[in-house]
Amino acid sequence: MALAFGAFSQTQSDFPDWLKGVWEIRSETGSSYEEWRGATDGSLTGKTYRMFNQDTIVFDTMRIRYFNSDIVYQMSANVKNTRTYARFNLQRPDPVLWKFENSLTDYPRNINYMRMGNDSVYVWTEASNANNACMDYIMIRFKDE
Q: Measure the CA–CA gap between 2 and 24, rounded to whole angstroms.
A: 26
Percent with pLDDT over 70 in the chain: 91
pTM (two decimals): 0.85
pLDDT band at 20 (very low <50, low <70, confident <90, very high): very high
Residue partners of 113: CB distance under 8 A and separation at least 6: 16, 19, 97, 98, 99, 121, 122, 123
The string of pLDDT tens digits covering residues 87-101 is 999 998 888 999 999
Q: CB under 8 Å, gap of 24 or more: what pairs does 124-132 form? A: 132/106, 132/107
DSSP run (H or E) holding 16: none
